[in-house]
Amino acid sequence: MQSNIHRNKLFVASCLALLVTSLSFGIRAGILNQLGVEFHLDAQELGTIAATAFWGFPVAVIIGGMVVDIIGMKKLLLFAFFFHLSGILLTVFATGYWSLFLSTLLIGIANGTVEAACNPLVATIFPDNKTTKLNHFHLWFPGGIVIGTLIVFLLNKLNVSWQFQVGLMLIPTAIYGYLFSKLHFPVTERVASGVSTKEMYSSLLSPLFLFMIVCMFMTAITELFTNQWTDVLFRTVTENALLILTFVTGVQALGRAFAGPIIHRINPQGVLLLSAIFSALGIYLLTHLHGTSIFGGAVIFGLGVAFFWPCMLGFVAENLPKTGAVGLNFMGGAGMFAVSVYMIFMGGYYDKLVLNKLPAGAVLDTYRSAASGTGLANAYNDARSAAGPEVLNSTLILPVILIFAFGGLVLYMRNRKKAILVSAVEPIK
């Protein structure tokens, strides 16, 4: 590696950029209900706004993955800074549905651009320890959500406006933009190793890569949909609904911080299988526990989703290295696209569930906007309490499917390893 490439400084700046990404998730999850009340938005409209970040992400991460080898990682990250800055400011001065829609889209584009550059950057500067360092990098996603949700929780107690809470993201945005503007970047690992562009794109048609893309749909929905909608789904179950998300993401951050020994002992595909098992159990417990015991379910779920995203990327980086930056970014883009579609669908489904549990002819916005303590407000809360578990029960099927999928992956990789060992020994004979 070139002497003017300071990989630790690049890694720190990358973590700060991802921190802004995760703060946008955590703070938005915490203020989603406030936005609904202030701008008279129903759950489908809130779901669409939240999903917009997941639309911008796959577009940016896929396009970024295709051009990162051409324009370089530095320019891509400076674009991310511009989009983050624009999206945050537009959110602060939002006046309704469309300004929230556009601002969230810009933040989603920024988030995807960060991943498009930083995932291949981390894989490039730590070529012998990819999965572990990707886990360390991605711990700042749940870590930032913890910080974001705690900011919302504390500032809401002090009656600080949601605009101020969103504006706090400008601080780490300015810092990472400054750092990246001063640092030198290496070329991507694919370019450095001499793998041609044609070979890279051909590798994307590998059956194993296509299998991982399908699994990414389900791992991303399991983690990100549940996290983003925690405050909406559990607000009527516990007074501290947002702290459930803090528990989940706190466990995620700790898991990723200590991922190295686990991954080296079990391997990425084994970790993914265990993650699917814990995720399914966690969602089941979240729908069946009540009161403070629900935080136990949050811990189990947090353990389950802790390793999904970084181990999916790490598996591809280690076992399908010829897919290069495009492969890593197609994985991220596929996950976020799946979440965006699922979130819009489930927003409408949640509205229907709530409406079906209200008196015939009820107008949803009338009940949602009713003053606290009134009969309408109590009826609305009862309807939401019943609807939330039904939404999560529908999502539970995904980690159950993943248990079988990753079980098969473990067996496949074990047999492939044996085949490689046999082929290596046979010429000696």
Residue 355 burial (CB count, 10 A)? 18
Quick one: how far is CA 193 from the chain centroid? 30
Domains of the chain by start residue, with CATH: 7-425 (1.20.1250.20)
In this structure, what is the dihedral angle of CA atoms 23, 337, 138, 12, given to the nearest 10 degrees?
-70
Tens digit of each residue's pLDDT, the chain (429 residues): 556 678 889 999 999 999 998 888 778 777 777 887 788 887 778 778 877 877 788 888 888 888 888 888 999 999 999 999 999 999 989 888 898 899 889 998 999 899 889 988 998 888 888 888 988 998 898 888 788 878 888 888 888 888 898 899 999 999 999 999 999 898 877 777 777 888 888 889 999 999 999 999 999 999 988 776 666 656 555 566 667 777 888 888 888 888 888 887 888 899 999 999 999 999 998 888 777 788 888 889 999 999 999 999 989 988 998 888 888 889 988 988 898 888 878 878 888 888 888 888 787 778 877 877 788 888 887 787 777 778 888 889 999 999 999 999 999 999 887 777 666 565 555
Candidates 328, 292, 296; CA nearest to 310 is: 328
Question: CA-CA distances (angstroms) from residue 30 to 26, 230, 233?
Answer: 6, 9, 12
pLDDT score for 222: 93
Q: What CA–CA distance (Å, rounded) separates 148 from 168?
A: 10
Measured in degrees and rounded to the nearest 5, phi and psi for residue 298 equal: -65, -35
Q: What CA–CA distance (Å, rounded) separates 385 from 365?
A: 17
pLDDT score for 303: 92
Q: Which pTM does this prediction carry?
A: 0.77
Tokens of 152: 């919302």
The DSSP code sequence of 366-414 is: HHHTSPTTSHHHHHHHHHHHHHHHHHHHHHHHHHHHHHHHHHHHHHHHH
Q: Are 180 and 78 in contact (CB under 8 A)?
A: yes
pLDDT score for 388: 73
Question: CA-CA distances (angstroms) from residue 229 to 101, 156, 179, 224, 347?
Answer: 17, 18, 33, 8, 10
Tokens of 377: 């407000």
